[in-house]
Chains A and B, each alone.
Chain A
């Protein structure tokens, strides 16, 4: 079946540290991959996406590259800020009508100043 596995948190970093949150997937076919971010008490916001192998999604200093050979989509940021503290979800879906997202369990990031 299709699934997403992401590293368990919480991840605790100091401001300006380098961030990596690992995400791997299992899928039949060729999914699109996403990172969503959830701030406390809010819904999910799309952070970035990639739709095919070797695509790099980027937004707000975050990046992730769709690696088909390793079935991975790791999230990285060179210098985190306190405002990046949130829960990050890796997810996949297929570009077919009515297909839902399959989420990882989420990784909590806490950045201190």
Chain B
């Protein structure tokens, strides 16, 4: 089956620093990648949709200058949390979609901002 990886799986950083999370589709070409945020015991909140080579489309209420998304190739998308603060601590999950309607999810990245 299709495999999506995320790196790192966990990251702890100081307030004010930036953190980059990578999402890779390992065995298929992802024309679209999605970034979600999940709070404890809650559903996934879509943050943005990115198509390869295009600017990401952000959901309402998501700061595009704070959450920078780059989808430079058909197998890699990155999410950079800039000037992170404790309220940005969360579980970030990416997913990738090829030519079918099925999205495949990465294992998630646990971000803790001190």
Judged by a CB distance under 8 angstroms, whether B31 is at the interface is yes
Which chain B residues border A82 with CB–CB below 8 Å?
none
Chain B proximity mask over A48-81: 1 for CB below 8 Å, otherwise 0: 0101000000000000000000000000000000
B102 near A43 with CB under 8 A, answer no
A94 to B44, CA, bound (A): 18
Which chain A residues border B42 with CB–CB below 8 Å?
105-106
Judged by a CB distance under 8 angstroms, whether B25 is at the interface is no
A93 near B106 with CB under 8 A, answer no
Closest residue to A36 on the B side, CB-wise? B105
Say whether chain A's binding surface is mostly helix, strand, loop, or mixed: loop
Give the tally of cross-chain contacts (CB within 8 A): 58
A105 near B101 with CB under 8 A, answer no
Chain A proximity mask over B74-113: 1 for CB below 8 Å, otherwise 0: 0000000000000000000101000011111111101000
B49 near A46 with CB under 8 A, answer no
Beyond A97-B32, A97-B51, A98-B32, whether A44 also contacts B105 by CB under 8 A is yes
Question: Shortest distance in angstroms between A108's beta carbon and chain B's nearest beta carbon?
Answer: 8
Find B93's partner among A43, A49, A95 (CB 8 Å cutoff).
A43
- Of the candidates A36, A43, A45, the one having the most CB atoms from chain B within 10 angstroms of its own CB is A43
B101 near A94 with CB under 8 A, answer yes
Which chain B residues border A44 with CB–CB below 8 Å?
44, 93, 95, 105
Closest residue to B38 on the A side, CB-wise? A38
A104 to B42, CA, bound (A): 10
Which chain A residues border B31 with CB–CB below 8 Å?
97
B105 near A89 with CB under 8 A, answer no
> Which B residues form the contact surface with A (CB < 8 A)?
1, 4, 6, 31-32, 34, 41-44, 46, 49, 51, 57, 93, 95, 100-108, 110
Q: What are 17 contact pairs spanning A and B, CB under 8 A?
A: A32-B101, A32-B102, A41-B108, A42-B107, A43-B6, A43-B105, A44-B93, A45-B105, A46-B103, A46-B104, A46-B105, A49-B102, A95-B100, A97-B32, A97-B51, A98-B51, A105-B43
